[in-house]
Structure formats: structure tokens, C-alpha cells
Amino acid sequence: MEFTAHSGKPRKRPHRESEQSEVMRFLFDQPLDQPAFLFRMVLLIIFAVITVRFLGSPIDPELVGGFWHLVNLPFHEAGHVIFGFLPQIGVSFMGTGMQLLMPIVCGATLLFKTGDSFGGAICLWWLGENFLDIAPYIGDASQGVLPLINGQIGQETPYGFHDWEFMLTELNIIQHDAAIALGSWNFGKVVMVFALAWGGIILWRAFQNRTWRE
């Protein structure tokens, strides 16, 4: 009679491996025809170029003050209105909160409703960009020199108008505004790079499994 030695380690359950492969396919496999593939490739390159501009830059209000800020600003202001029933600190936070919530909602819709994993990756990039967008505002909390939506700088507005000045003062951590801003800035960069890597993997797998003729 023969005996086989084993290490005593539990074997991986087949259904767990199957579940993991299903998750991988859900996140990274997206069948694309040639025009759709090329369009997404162009998008990925554009977003990569934009990201490179951010990666080597310190916190810079002008760098995030263009097109993407104009996209984010309406959601920021809508957050104050929609959540106006909250206490003042909640209303102040939900300006930023709405900025961060919109990419998550859009990404989840694309990913889970339409199966557009590449769209989910782009929304994740947008989320990272929002962390960059709010960083100068956070860092301005103790200085109040950035122009606000009413055309005045923070120092000229009543207490509570500058969201982050109010929130950090109420939480007694306004002395850490620069560190919090830097954390938001760097975290945003990490999220953006991760999103590009996700999108790149999706396109690489789509290219490997391409059905169109070259």
C-alpha cells in the first residue's frame, strides 16, 4: 500500500478559484470592436498625458483650475444645496463630498449596469482628479487667499463661507491644513495612476482577444 505525503496546507477550493476568475473577467475583460478599441486607446493616452503633468507638480491651484475644475464645481455647489438640511458642518463638507460622490456613482453605474469596465476606470481617474482639485482649497483654509465662487477671497467672506476653513476650525485641526492638502494631492495622484493601469490592462486584454482582422 502506498502513501502520499502532503504538506498539511489546506487545498484551494475550486469554487473560490472560479469566483476569483469571474471577478478578474468582470474587472478586466471587455469585448471591443476595432473602432471602440481605438477610441479608448486615444482616451487613455490623453488621460495619461494629463496625469504626467500632475505627477511632477506640487499643489498648484492654477494646474487644477481649468476644464476639470469647471466640471467639478457644479457638483460641489449642488452638494451644498441638496444636503442643506444637515448641520452647517455637514453642509460645508457635502460640497467636497458631492465632488467625490459623482465619479463613484458614475463609475459604479458604468461598471455594474452596463459592464463598461473601461468607463469605470476613467471614472476612477476622475475621482483621483477630484482629490487634486480639492487640495488647494484645503490648503487655503488658514490663509484665505484663493478667490471663491462669490468673487471674494476667503479672508473677505463671513466665517463659514470657506468650507474648509470652517470645517477644520470647528474640528480644531486647521493648523494641519497644509498636511491634509498634501495628503489629498498625493492620494489623488496614486488613484489616477492606478486608474490608468486598470484601463491599460483592459485594453491590453481586449487587444489579445481581438476578433477584428488586422
pLDDT digits (tens, 9 = 90+) for 164-205: 999 999 999 999 999 999 999 999 999 999 999 999 999 999
Mean pLDDT of the chain: 90
Q: Are 99 and 79 contacting, i.e. CB atoms less than 8 angstroms apart?
A: yes
Grade residue 3 by pLDDT with cuts at 50, 70 and 90: very low
| Predicted pLDDT at 1 | 44
The CA distance from 196 to 146, in Å, is: 31
The CA distance from 77 to 110, in Å, is: 24
The residues near 158 (Cβ < 8 Å, ≥ 6 apart) are none
Q: CA distances (Å), 29 to each of 154, 182, 191, 207, in order?
A: 47, 35, 21, 10
pLDDT at 38 over 70: yes
In sign, the C-alpha dihedral spanning 146, 149, 154, 156 is positive
The CA distance from 98 to 115, in Å, is: 24
Grade residue 37 by pLDDT with cuts at 50, 70 and 90: very high
127: region left, alpha or beta (phi > 0 left; psi from -120 to 50 alpha) = alpha
Q: CA distances (Å), 62 to each of 6, 68, 157, 185, 192, in order?
A: 62, 11, 21, 14, 19
pLDDT at 27 over 60: yes
pTM: 0.88
- Phi and psi angles of residue 138, each rounded to the nearest 5 degrees, phi first: -65, -45
The pLDDT > 70 percentage for the chain reads 89
> Tens digits of per-residue pLDDT, 40-56?
999 999 999 999 999 98
The set of cell numbers assigned to 75 is 457638483
- Give the bridge partners for 153, in sequence order: 147
pLDDT at 107 over 70: yes
